[in-house]
Amino acid sequence: MKILFLKESTFMHKPTRYHPENPRRAVEARSALISEGIPIVDISVQGVDILEARRLARRVHSVDYVELLEKLSRRAPVDIDEDTYMSRDTLELALVYFYEAYRSAAESRRVFILGRPPGHHVGYNGATPGVLTQGFCILNNAAAAIYGFMDAGYRRLLTIDFDAHHGNGTMEIFYKQRVLQVDFHQDPATLYPHTGYPDELGEGDGYGYKVNIVLPRYSGDDLFLELLEMIKRVISRYNPEAVVVSAGFDAFENDGLSDLALTEVSYYQVGRFIAELDVPTVAVLEGGYGIGLRRGLPAFVKGLKSEVVEYPLLTTTPASARRASLESAKRVIEKVVGRIHGA
């Protein structure tokens, strides 16, 4: 598993005022990995055909949305919505990150691409129906990787999203398709984008292929790891040929933008599980704004690399919330396993 770092992320796509999604995130991510002795391969905006990236953007997203981005880019600095900004160079950086995710999948690589801006909240037309903002996101990098694997001939595709916020954009794009999507996120009743309830199972061919695992506020390592074990049953039945990962680290305890309390052990174990699937894998960075990048990111990468590390289980979940989450997950998994088994 190679770690690719889009070096221009450390200075491009810069807000004009304070914003949690800023170049400092990339600096912190790089520093955290280097301090742990994890090798990084630098990539650059110079290595991507922007015209080809624009064509791909028009496949994943609507032409109207991409043209809006181009129009706003010419007027930048500007806000797309109350949460999502664009600077003069935002679109270039977003297109490069987006296309690198696609190209890595199309070439059947095993990589974690560290870059900005994130993407899992962007649907086909930008903000998804019923959601007012794009949550810092410009182009959907995970969706680009899914397209890349599809173009390479893979059919049983799995996406795993463990950002604290539901990956509503990615799920919307593939909601009617047989792409198995597993999304761990904080209870949508208590956190943006207020989507990703357990009964959102997909539509048409996609019904039963959407698994929303809800984590109550203050969930800790104990609950996350138990839910991860339960999800393995679904994924084993599905037997994926390739995996796309939306890796967010804002569920780390005290990272700042959620009420979850995961620590290194959760991120390490999900990384180990993905590595054990032993299939082409493209991971992209979503959230994570502080301690999650400094501690959760290196733990996840060590798991992806199958390093043997012992992390203690540090946080626990209130008993009543834990029971409700496990019961909800069991109901969803029963429906999904039945659908996949009958497919």
- Just list the catalytic residues: 121
pLDDT at 86: 98
CA atoms within 13 A on the CB side of 205: 5
DSSP letter, residue 39: -
Fold of 2-342: Arginase; Chain A (3.40.800)
Q: Judge whether 100 and 6 are in contact, CB under 8 Å.
A: yes
pLDDT at 341: 62
The pTM assigned to this predicted structure is 0.96
Distances (CA, A) of 20 to 118, 119, 123, 253, 338: 12, 15, 21, 17, 41
The structure tokens 């900005």 sit at 116
pLDDT at 136: 98
Question: Domain map of the chain by residue range?
Answer: 2-342
pLDDT at 343: 55
Residues of the chain falling short of pLDDT 50: none
Q: In degrees, to the nearest 5, what angle opens at C-alpha 168 toward C-alphas 5 and 317?
A: 85
State phi, psi for 6 to the nearest 5 degrees. -80, 100
State phi, psi for 113 to the nearest 5 degrees. -100, 115
